[in-house]
Structure 1
Amino acid sequence: MATMEQRIARSLADYCDRLDRYDVDEVLALFAPDGTYDFGFGRIFRGLDELRVLFSRVEAYRATSHHVSNIVVDPGPGGDTATARSALYAYHVRREDESEVHVWGQYHDRFVRVGDAWLVKERRLRVAAERGTRPEDGRATLYEPLPRSA
């Protein structure tokens, strides 16, 4: 039987696979019904309807390739919650002009156990570097930076 850490690592890998295949329904199946995704700079998507809007943005890309590594899982009290941190690299090719986007960062997740599944309750994305993105609202970056101590 798979451990909690293995199931959560599988969920992270399944997220990448499903997003890269643009299977939004299957991506949403990895989130709790009241799950949230903090995209940074106050952009928080709450619940499956808002998450669908977020993940539908992937349609703007002809191809994507998401990769997670350096997964660290910490169990929460009671055994039905956990936190996870994972490193992210994401590559995108825009449909409109074939331009490329590269993103390096981290996911900070809180998982909840529902039956045998571990679902994302909260996800926070913070980015160390980005290339080819198109920042919004006059910001210098599209994504909120990963905090650094120095």
Structure 2
Amino acid sequence: MTTAEEHIRRSLADYCHRVDRYDVAGIVALFAPDGCYDLGFGRIFRGPDELRTLFRRVEVYRATSHHVSNIVVDVHGDTATARSALYAYHVRRDDDSEAHVWGQYQDRYVLRDGVWLVRSRSLRVAAERGTRPEDGRATLYEPLPRGI
């Protein structure tokens, strides 16, 4: 028998696999219909249409490689939380330049029809190299809070 924690760990691995294969429909299928992705700086993508818009941005890369580790899952009945460390490597199509991202996902999951789906994902970043910030910000991603 597979536990809720194993399903959620599998969801995290499937997410990385689907992003790296540029399987936008497959990525969106991992989210609840009312699910959202918070990239920070107020950029929140809600529901399947906005999530598809977000994940189509990966098209600018000819290759990506996403890795999650340090996964901690807490299950509370039909809901769960998970946090994980992320390293993501990217190579742009237009000029072969590279981007690296190190950060953390904070996730909330919900059990619907026997399937654990991402209700919300938040990405905060410890470091980034080679990214291209938007809207005049110094970084592309919102920094991971630190207790110092």
Shorter-chain TM range is over 0.9
The match for 1:35 is 35
CA distance in 1, matches of 2:43, 2:16: 21
TM-score using structure 2 length: 0.99
The match for 1:46 is 46
The unaligned stretches of length 5 or more in structure 2 are: none
Secondary structure of the corresponding residue to residue 117 of structure 2: strand
The match for 1:22 is 22
Q: How far is the alpha carbon of 1:5 from its aligned partner? A: 0.7
The match for 1:84 is 82
CA distance in 2, matches of 1:127, 1:117: 28
Name the Cα RMSD after superposition.
Answer: 0.6
TM-score using structure 1 length: 0.97
Identical columns (%): 77
Q: How far is the alpha carbon of 1:144 from its aligned partner? A: 0.2
Q: How far is the alpha carbon of 1:116 from its aligned partner? A: 2.4
Equivalent residues, number: 148
One-letter amino acid of the structure 1 residue matched with residue 55 of structure 2? F
Q: How far is the alpha carbon of 1:113 from its aligned partner? A: 0.6
Deviations 1:17-67 (A, max 9, x none): 011000111111100011000000000000000000000001100000000
1:1-150 correspondence runs (5 A): 1-76=1-76, 79-150=77-148
CA distance in 1, matches of 2:74, 2:145: 20
Deviations 1:58-94 (A, max 9, x none): 1100000000000000112xx1000000000000000
Q: How far is the alpha carbon of 1:114 from its aligned partner? A: 1.2
Which runs of 4 or more aligned residues in structure 1 lie more than 2 Å from their structure 2 counterparts after TM superposition? none
The unaligned stretches of length 5 or more in structure 1 are: none
Q: How far is the alpha carbon of 1:137 from its aligned partner? A: 1.2
Deviations 1:90-124 (A, max 9, x none): 00000000000000000000000112211000000
